[in-house]
Amino acid sequence: MAAFTNTEFEFGGINHLALTCSDMQRTVDFYTNILGMKLVKTLEFTHESGSGQHFFFDVGNGRDAIAFFWFEDAPPPAPGIAQSGRWFPGAPRRSAIGAMDHVALDVPRDKIEAYRDKLRAKGIAVTEVVNHSDRPGIAQYLPAEPNEDTFVRSIYFQDPDGITLEFACWGRPLTEADVVHEPKTAADLNYEKQVETARRAQAAAEAAGLVPHAMQTH
């Protein structure tokens, strides 16, 4: 990516991303033993609204971190609403306004295939390498090999709570020519489609057993 200097604020990158898990022990096992990160900080708290934990993992450069909350009263997962529905049969490939869709971790360009194979050897379901290009529609994901249009190469997989993770590397420098689309506004939202998407997400969550029976809506 081309160099850019922010003249308003001096940011050193993303300090940390914070997500919510259902089982902190399982999360620690995945991020340390599967992905090789280091657990660097743990917090436990109790207050009038309930108890919980907050753990931080160094991704491997001594600077950037990914963190997880555990709350005793956390609402159940909602694929297609609070998280990507990519991995759940029948769920929309969406995430709700204000939700986080996925976490992309930067990896060396020459190691992405090897990292895919390494994850699979650890028993993790991983996509093939996706070569994102500037082609319209679904065609942007179709090139089997990187070409001059490829701006990012990626593989995708899940953590134990269904959070979508991505290993990504830049395919080429980004320039002003890469910014060509007018941004949509709230006026462009389709309410009928929003309602249908939420219904499909709820149904997929129930079918996957992610919503306890007593909490299912009818």
Band of the pLDDT at 2, cuts 50, 70, 90? low
Does residue 21 belong to any structural domain of this protein? yes
Choice between 153 and 91, residue whose per-residue pLDDT is larger: 153
pLDDT tens readout for residues 133-185: 776 555 555 556 777 888 889 898 989 988 888 999 888 888 888 877 788 88
Please write down the HEC assignment for all residues of 131-177.
Answer: EECCCCHHHHHCCCCCCCCCCEEEEEEECCCCCEEEEEEECCCCCHH
What six digits make up the tokens of 14?
A: 């993303």
Looking at the predicted structure, is the pLDDT value of residue 132 above 50? Answer: yes
pLDDT of residue 186: 75
Give the pTM: 0.76
In the numeric block, the tokens 């953590």 are attached to 159
Does residue 9 belong to any structural domain of this protein? yes
| Domain housing 25 | 1-74
Choice between 193 and 17, residue whose per-residue pLDDT is larger: 17
Does residue 29 belong to any structural domain of this protein? yes
Choice between 136 and 9, residue whose per-residue pLDDT is larger: 9
What six digits make up the tokens of 138?
A: 């679904």
CATH code for the domain in which residue 51 is found: 3.10.180.10
Does residue 42 belong to any structural domain of this protein? yes
How many domains are contained in the chain? 1
pLDDT of residue 94: 63
Does residue 63 belong to any structural domain of this protein? yes
pLDDT tens readout for residues 14-53: 878 988 888 999 999 999 999 999 999 998 887 666 678 8
Does residue 79 belong to any structural domain of this protein? no
Does residue 27 belong to any structural domain of this protein? yes
